[in-house]
A and B are shown apart, each in its own frame.
Chain A
Amino acid sequence: MIKFSRYILVAIGILVASIVLPSLYWTIFEKVPRSPNLFYSCIKDDFIVVDGSIRKSPAGKEYTSDEYEQALPFMFYRQLMADGTMPDTIKGVKMETPSIARASSFYRYTPKRTDAPVPTLWPMLESQSGKVNLAMPEDYFRIEKRMEFIVAKTNEINEEKSMLFTDALTSEGFVFPANIIAGLPTTRKSVDEGYFITDAAGSLFHVKMVKGEPYVVRIETPEKLDIVYIEAVDLRSREYYCYVFTGNQGIFVVMDEVYDLQRLPVDGFNPSIHTFRLSADLFNKCITILGENWYEAIAVDEMYQVVGTHGEKWEGLYERPEGKMLASLFPFETRMKDENSAYVRFYFKPSPGIRWMIVNLTALIVAVVLIMRRGWPLKSNIPDLLITAVTGIYGLIATQFFPNKFSKVKPPDKK
């Protein structure tokens, strides 16, 4: 029991050391990671890579500030108009501010979105109130055994409304409870489109409230989709309602009104580790998938046909000097937070390679020397030595902080 209590303390010592020491290390040595932005120029019919203050073509040609702005007329049309350099037409299309603004959108997905605690109560706005401004409702809904509306002021369920919506869902074949609920719970949007919801069977539904009545559409998917995340968007172009991210079947958008699922031409996207960016203009959409040390950019036209691709890879964390150094010092590190998740967990990150073995071996030798200097028999300290051999500096610190006093001490030699 007492020995066991010591090993618990040693284990906690190792845990704390594996959090604190690498975090100290990173505070000193961390460098800003590369995170380029990609745009597709309808003027040059090519990508533009923006890396900090450097803008260049995929071929490596650097652009000046003016060249850059002129290459992206939709992004900088206000500036170009002020300068008088905005072309009247591009690709035969007359340039007008409203159409440019309507077509422009930007969206970004990070893995944190999927792996995050989500609200379980949502406001159902009235989609066709007849008023110009949207208004927040007095109640919030949840979809558990049924769909329930709870009035905030009284903290009581509105039975009538709950029944109405539950029946509407049931008649469309909704299997309770809901899995993902995605919407824009805000009044600061152009129109309300309610919620996109997956049920317990994984089917996708569109649910909104029109003049107090439920509006439920079951959205047919081309195949059974493993949907992990949905994000509703409020596009001024009203092109699509939302993005649908699947585990490994790709990314879809749900087209407005017709509910067709349009698959984006992106392969190998993993929503739990990759970042997704999409910037749209009048002619093209530029999609960028970012990994830790690479990106893949795909440009599509208005018919979602691929017009260009470009990719780049650079040194990964553990290939750079600061990462190599860390991987040599410590066999692993532990973090409570991770850039790919909003949850707190014990994120255990083993160091790649075996260079840390040198430090572990040194730690082991130090441990042996310390034990022998105290006149403790090595035999009863084998567990400590094993711990030190495996966990390196962490184990050495932990076993010294919580010393092993269970081995019989022999008196020092008389000098």
Chain B
Amino acid sequence: MYAIECKNLTHYYGRKLVYENLSFNVEEGKILGLLGKNGTGKSTTINILNGFLQPNSGECLIYGENTQLLTPETKSRIGFLIEGHVQYSFMNIHQIEKFYSGFYPNWNSAPYWELMSKLKVTPKQKISTMSCGQRSQVALGLILAQDPDLLILDDFSMGLDPGYRRLFIDYMREYAKAEHKTVFVTSHIIQDMERLIDDVMIMDYNKILAQQPVDQFMASFRQFNITLSSPAEEIDMDGIAVNIDKVKDKIEFYTYSTADEVKGYLNSKGITFTSFEEKKMSLEDAFIGLTRKY
């Protein structure tokens, strides 16, 4: 059973292609991370998912309903964290809790007040005067109190201190798994993300680079650091290499192939090397390896 199904999405901004025929699903109970550099279409996808954007073609379904035409019942099953933890910042934490509680039948304010009690804010303090980290806790607390089945978190890590980011991730993972929630999360900061997500989808300009369970991705995507016998050796991007970073005689070779396959490939090309080692990657390393540094 899928919580989200997107089929053949194609979208343009004016004449600029964002993506073409993009399809993906999110299984219920899974945490999917949509990773990509800025401007690769993460926000476009979020906007389509929330019905704020009509794609040129294709459609997204949430719990079987087209996201352009979500019923109030389905909307109440979706928790939505807007990029930058945007909330009604002209309210204070009591007003905003009172406001939202009227909309959701399953409203459970306990987790909200638990989070709020850890914040050093005064009861009458408007959200607009809070720090970024405090605001993120308010936004998170509201979503937890809403108790939705699906959480859509757009760039939740933006502007967060490492401590708050780690706190947010750990809290979310524990909560989602315990309550069997589905989470769709986007981020351009990859650090710590492997602590959170089950499946990864990596986006580049106009295309999807990877879409699979994160452990499978981490197991199959590899980095080899190779020292060539001469800096003059030329190495092509064709064949098994996904990405190559070459500085003088040192190369970082990113591939889905095994060490033996890479060695065989280099031999077949007549490329000689003096050292060859596989480097253990974090998700962030893998992300950069896949999407390049620039």
Contacts and interface: CB of A to CB of B under 8 A. Distances in A.
Contacts of B14: 412
A414 B12 CA distance: 11
A412 B20 CA distance: 12
Contacts, number: 10
Nearest to A415: B15
A383 to B, nearest CB: 21
A153 interface: no
Interface string B6-20: 000010101101000
Q: From A410, A411, A412, name the one whose CB has the most chain B CB atoms within 10 angstroms.
A: A411
Contacts of A409: 56
Q: From B10, B12, B17, name the one whose CB has the most chain A CB atoms within 10 angstroms.
A: B12
Interface string B50-83: 0000001100000000000000000000000000
A414 B15 CA distance: 8
Interface in B19-40: none
Interface string B80-123: 00000000000000000000000000000000000000000000
A412 B10 CA distance: 11
Nearest to B12: A411
Nearest to A409: B56
Contacts of A410: 56
Contacts of A412: 12, 14-15
Nearest to A410: B56
Interface in A394-415: 409-412, 414
B41 to A, nearest CB: 15
B18 to A, nearest CB: 10
Interface string B126-137: 000000000000
Main SS of the interface on chain A?
Answer: loop
A325 to B, nearest CB: 38
Interface in A367-415: 409-412, 414
B284 to A, nearest CB: 34
B288 to A, nearest CB: 30
Contacts of B15: 412
A273 B12 CA distance: 59
B46 to A, nearest CB: 20
Contacts of B10: 411
Interface in B191-213: none
A414 B16 CA distance: 10
Contacts of B56: 409-411
Contacts of A411: 10, 12, 56-57
Nearest to B56: A411
A188 B12 CA distance: 78
B47 to A, nearest CB: 16
B13 to A, nearest CB: 11
Contacts of B17: 414
A412 B14 CA distance: 8
B15 to A, nearest CB: 5
Interface string B146-172: 000000000000000000000000000
A143 to B, nearest CB: 58
A411 B10 CA distance: 9
Contacts of B57: 411
Nearest to A405: B54
Contacts of A414: 17
A410 to B, nearest CB: 7
A410 B54 CA distance: 12
Interface in A159-201: none
Contacts of B12: 411-412
Interface string A25-54: 000000000000000000000000000000
Nearest to B16: A412
A409 B14 CA distance: 10
A386 to B, nearest CB: 26
A376 to B, nearest CB: 13
Nearest to B20: A411
Given A410-B56, A411-B10, A412-B14, 5 more contacts: A409-B56, A411-B57, A412-B12, A412-B15, A414-B17
8 contacts: A409-B56, A410-B56, A411-B10, A411-B56, A411-B57, A412-B12, A412-B14, A414-B17
Interface of B: 10, 12, 14-15, 17, 56-57
Nearest 6 pairs of A and B residues by beta carbon: A411-B56, A412-B15, A411-B12, A409-B56, A411-B10, A412-B12
